[in-house]
Copies of this chain bind each other. A is one copy, B any other.
Amino acid sequence: MNIAFLGLGGMGSGMARNLIKHGHTVIAWNRSPGPAEAIQAQGAKIAATPAEAARGAEIAITMLADDEAVYSVTFGENGLADGLDKGAAHVSMSTISVALSERLTSAHAERGQGFVAATVFGRPDQAQAGKLFIAVAGTADAVERIRPALDAVGQRSFVIGDTPAQANLLKLTGNFLITCVIESLAEAFCLTTKGGIEMSKVHEFLTETLFAAPVYRTYGEMILAGRFSPTGFKMALGQKDNRLVQLAAEKLEVPLPFAGILRDRFLAALAHGDGELDWSAIAKRAAADAGVTHT
């Protein structure tokens, strides 16, 4: 397929590469030139603007940092909405708000363009390896049409509804569940550490019995080691996603007590200057409260 790819960050670069590998024609755009040159070397064409990238493409994928970026790349001057052909589809793979997804849905519809949200779970190395999990939502035939692209970047795609914003809500929900794991482990480690048990034994026990899932292993190891950089997913982005899940919950009138606890952890972490650490560094706040010095 002819695919416009907008946003070549840590995740996007890997995804674009996999599209090329699977034989798709990729025309890429990135705000800063460095990553664009790298992907050009691998066979992509480079566009000067989002609109130029989108022109003639069957689908235009956005993989950007936040609502502001997606909004301006789509609707700004020389934005993809200006370039995208009628009948072609914008596939939003970024983690954005439910509200923006709803707005994109209607704005593209007005222009006769399709819109699908296909949110991804995984870290940059999984993006590189084409091993992402994808939650997709959109009209059945729009989803069908973009499937070859999804197959190139993910190990498995789940169609979870026909309203694009549902995939965004599920992405935010997934991130919420991950932070619940981090916080619960952080609290657990404080308790067992003050109870005199070696943290590595607690980690081993938990992750080889009931909690034998990568998410417990990954974050348990980070807390155990007290090592919160290099950053897999930045605290500041974690806080942003916490805000977005709370906004979605407010709109839907759903109390989320755990999300409220997490909100305060994120704000305390930012107040202590930890915005650039991995989001699992909220564990430092639990430790500070309990007077625990890890390692």
Interface residues of A (CB under 8 A from B): 98, 121, 133, 135, 156, 158, 160-161, 163, 165-166, 169-170, 173-174, 176-178, 180-181, 183-185, 187-188, 190-192, 194-198, 201-202, 204-206, 208-216, 243, 245-246, 248-250, 252-261, 263-265, 267-268, 270-272, 285-286, 288-292
Contact = CB atoms under 8 A, between A and B. Distances in A.
This chain: copies in complex = 4
Interface of A is mostly: helix
Nearest to A186: B258
A223 to B, nearest CB: 13
A121 B184 contact: no
A121 B209 CA distance: 8
Contacts of A245: 191
Residue picked from A214, A271, A272, most chain B C-beta under 10 Å: A271
A122 B130 CA distance: 36
B290 A202 contact: no
A98 B59 CA distance: 41
A256 B267 CA distance: 9
Given A209-B121, A289-B285, A256 B197 contact: no
Contacts of A286: 255
Contacts of A209: 121, 133, 156, 158, 174
A63 to B, nearest CB: 19
B268 A194 contact: no
10 contacts: A133-B209, A135-B205, A158-B209, A161-B198, A163-B196, A170-B197, A187-B257, A190-B256, A253-B291, A254-B292
A170 B205 contact: yes
Contacts of A187: 176, 254, 256-259
Given A160-B197, A197-B161, A254 B214 contact: no
B290 A288 contact: no
A191 B173 contact: yes
Given A216-B213, A255-B290, A169 B192 contact: yes
Contacts of A166: 192, 195-197
Interface centre among A98, A211, A214, A267 (most CB of B within 10 A): A267
Nearest to A201: B160
Nearest to A195: B169
A173 to B, nearest CB: 5
Contacts of A248: 191, 195
Nearest to A209: B133
Contacts of A213: 210-213, 216
A290 B261 contact: no
Contact of A258 (B183, B256, B272): B183
